[in-house]
Amino acid sequence: MSHPETAFTKSTSEPRLTWILCEHLKTISDSARLTGRWGQENQFGTIDAKAGKVLKSYRTDIEYFSNRSLERIRLIFEFKKIDDSAKTLRKYWGVDGMRRFIDGDYSVGEPFALMAGILLKPKAACVAALKNVLRSEKCKVLQWRNGGDIIEPSTAFPRDAEFDTEHVRPVGKAPTQGYIRIGHLFLCFVVPSASQ
């Protein structure tokens, strides 16, 4: 959340917001006992090693990685600015949003991921509109597990996420259980004015 001294506004670019947020996460990691590595704008992709070619390249908004426990953790955060309009909500759930974790190349083999909505309007309106569109016919493309139920409150990230969704992934991209659980959290970087 922001406060009056915060320089973020609705027009601040998403990459700038996520870059600064990741730097902030790095500074508070020790106090939160997160001893892994935070990174932003991480590059990854697929290559043809024999030909020495990059076939596809991507970048993640924010990624957290730790191998200090028995189970390795690799958690990718994808950020999208949202309000209650169809245009921003489609970006959130579409090919450059949630679908990166479903039929795309983000979090391959990982059981969890996080979608972060950067709120451009009051939270209640944005979250209600998002849940409505996720339950709509057009979002059947998200390969829902268990008929498209939204899991509320979040059980994957109960302290931070508003709700979870589960999606079946294609063979070769799915974790052992065959589906990924996405936690959905929402951030407000602007102080609401009296008119909002």
Is residue 2 assigned to a domain?
no
Give the pLDDT confidence score for residue 11 in this predicted structure.
73
Decide if 105 is inside a domain: yes
In contact, 115 and 184? CB cutoff 8 Å = yes
Bridge partner list, 112: 181
> Cα angle at 37 between 19 and 170, to 5 degrees?
85
Q: How many domains does the chain have?
A: 1
Number of CB atoms found within 10 A of residue 77's CB: 22
* 192 domain-assigned: no
80 backbone φψ class: left, alpha, beta (φ>0; ψ -120 to 50):
beta
What pLDDT sits at residue 9? Answer: 66
- CA-based nearest residue to 161, from 141, 132, 139, 181: 181
Is residue 9 one of the residues assigned to a domain?
Answer: no
Domain hosting residue 175, numbered range: 14-187
pTM of the predicted structure, to 2 decimals: 0.81
Does residue 174 sit within a domain?
Answer: yes
Could you tell me if residue 1 is inside a domain?
no
Contacts of 73 (CB under 8 A, 6+ apart): 36, 64, 65, 66, 67
Q: Which of 97, 72, 95, 70 is nearest to 14 (CA)?
A: 97
What span, in angstroms and rounded, lies between the C-alpha atoms of 137 and 157? 27
Q: What's residue 128's pLDDT?
A: 97
Asked whether residue 3 is domain-assigned, the answer is no
Q: Would 153 be classed as within a structural domain?
A: yes
CA dist 55 and 73 (Å) reads 26
CA quadruple 166, 171, 177, 182: dihedral positive or negative? Answer: negative
Calpha distance 120→82 (Å, rounded)? 6
pLDDT of the residue at 177: 94
> Average pLDDT for consecutive 10-residue bins of the chain (196 residues)?
52 77 76 73 76 77 76 86 96 96 93 93 95 95 91 92 96 94 86 48
Contacts of 99 (CB under 8 A, 6+ apart): 93, 141, 142
Give how far Cα 106 sits from Cα of 25, 67, 110, 111, 120, Å: 21, 19, 9, 11, 25
